[in-house]
């Protein structure tokens, strides 16, 4: 005879995947506390743990329609998402600290070079225009990896695709940007 709790999780997952918000609320109530404590253990901060818990359930809500529940419980899947979200948060915090530390310069010039600003602005506009020609998936991969600092594996997990797809598409996107920006205005 099947475990009634496992059957309950499977039924709630199926209902939530069809958009049943009440079923998702029940899953949230059942697993929010263990996900929070895992995040807290990984991050060591109450506020970060709360944010990661919310991010974990947001990712879960988005991915439920494609989930094939193979375990008796939804918790192992949520733990995996929580670990990725925690790792992403730690990377962002580390990157932000490095950028903040690197950005402190005691020799700040008193004047602003308008020409540099115009050139930088024009370059940014060309990058945005070129990114707009990419497929939605390539745009998401670029945003996650190049803009938000996700590792390939984390971006792959976030998008539900393989690590190789992320690596190969990002490489093509970068080459395309280099070509587009190198040939124009050079």
Q: Are 159 and 141 in contact (CB under 8 A)?
A: yes
Cα dihedral 142, 148, 154, 158 in deg (nearest 10): -70
Q: Are 80 and 160 in contact (CB under 8 A)?
A: no
pLDDT at 56: 92
Phi-psi region for residue 162, left (φ > 0), alpha (ψ -120 to 50) or beta?
Answer: beta
At 10-65, the pLDDT tens digits run 888 889 889 899 999 999 998 999 999 988 888 888 999 999 999 999 999 988 88
- Residue 186 banded pLDDT, cuts 50, 70, 90: very low
Tokens linked to 130: 């070129």
Question: Can you tell me the distance from the alpha carbon of 64 to that of 137, in angstroms, rounded to the nearest whole number?
Answer: 19
What domains appear along the chain, each with residue ranges and CATH number?
4-103 (1.10.1740.10), 114-183 (1.10.10.10)
CA end-to-end distance (rounded Å), the chain = 71
Q: How many CB atoms lie within 10 A of CB 145?
A: 21
**What string of DSSP letters covers 51-63?**
HHHHHHHHHHHHH
The answer to which of 5-9, 114-118, 127-131, 158-162 has the lowest mean pLDDT is 114-118
pTM of the model: 0.51
Q: Burial, 49: exposed, middle or buried (Cβ in 10 Å; 0-12, 13-18, 19+)?
A: buried
At 84-109, the pLDDT tens digits run 999 889 988 888 888 776 555 555 55
Q: Among 174, 33, 162, 150, which Cα is nearest to 85's?
A: 150
């Amino acid at each position: 005879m099947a475990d009634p709790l496992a059957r309950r999780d499977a039924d709630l997952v199926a209902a939530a995947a069809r958009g049943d918000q009440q079923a998702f609320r029940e899953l949230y109530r059942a697993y929010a506390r263990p996900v929070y404590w895992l995040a807290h253990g990984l991050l060591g901060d109450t506020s970060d743990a709360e944010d990661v818990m919310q991010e974990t359930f947001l990712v879960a809500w988005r991915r439920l329609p494609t989930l094939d529940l193979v375990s008796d419980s939804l918790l192992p899947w949520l733990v995996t998402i929580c670990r990725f979200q925690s790792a992403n948060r730690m990377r962002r915090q580390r990157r932000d600290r490095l950028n903040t530390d690197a950005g402190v310069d005691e020799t700040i010039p008193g004047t602003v070079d308008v020409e540099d600003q115009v050139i930088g602005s024009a370059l940014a506009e060309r990058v945005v225009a070129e990114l707009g020609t990419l497929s939605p998936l390539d745009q998401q991969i670029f945003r996650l990896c190049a803009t938000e600092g996700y590792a390939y594996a984390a971006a792959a997990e976030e998008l539900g695709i393989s690590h190789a797809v992320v690596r190969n598409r990002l490489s093509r996107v970068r080459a395309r940007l280099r070509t587009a920006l190198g040939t124009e205005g050079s």
